[in-house]
Amino acid sequence: MIAIFNKFRIGLLPIYVLLAILTASVSLVSCSKDDELEIQNDFPFEVNVMPVPKDVANGQTVEIRITIQRTGNYSNTQYFLRYFQFDGQGTLQYYNEPPYQPNDLYQLPTEQFRLYYTSTSAVSQSFDVWISDSFGNEKQITFQFNSSD
């Protein structure tokens, strides 16, 4: 009986070796770099603006309420603002901070904020605001005010 068992053991050795090679090759193939877990951190966003008046007088300040709405949530995303005024004259500022300089980039601390535009001219005024994120996504908003003087 022991002789028969020893004969089977020797006959099973090639099967054990084949199983070991198969298991090792499956393990190595399944750990390849091509199948890395991808974590998405670049989410597009939309910008919502509450309605603003159409007319503004010289020296008048208009409040602009803006909300950034993301399609996904990545906690390390930073948002930035820059603006350029191409008609008329005025100042744009974030709450009580100093007025923004045209074409300079400013970091936004929150996704819901208010800007204040103060007219300094008696003609129609137009300016663009660009909001961008740390991944290069960008949205442009155009504001136009008629003079009420």
- The CA distance from 1 to 11, in Å, is 16
Q: What is the mean pLDDT of residues 17-31?
A: 72
Task: Identify the CA nearest to 66 among candidates 51, 54, 56.
Answer: 51
Confidence band of 31 (pLDDT split at 50, 70, 90): low
Query: Is the same domain home to 61 and 122?
Result: yes
Whether 71 and 131 map to the same domain: the answer is yes
Q: Residue 49: which CATH number? A: 2.60.40.2410
Tokens representing residue 35 in the block: 């199948």
Residues 60, 21 share a domain:
no
Q: Are 25 and 73 in the same domain?
A: no
In this structure, the answer to whether residues 134 and 98 fall within a common structural domain is yes
Q: How many domains does the chain have?
A: 2
H-state helical runs in the chain: 2-30
Q: Compute the average pLDDT of residues 40-52.
A: 85
The answer to whether residue 36 is domain-embedded is: no
**93 is in which domain, residue-wise?**
43-143
* Residues 48 and 118 occupy one common structural domain: yes
Please state the rounded mean pLDDT for residues 32-47.
70
If asked whether residues 47 and 95 sit together in one domain, one would say: yes
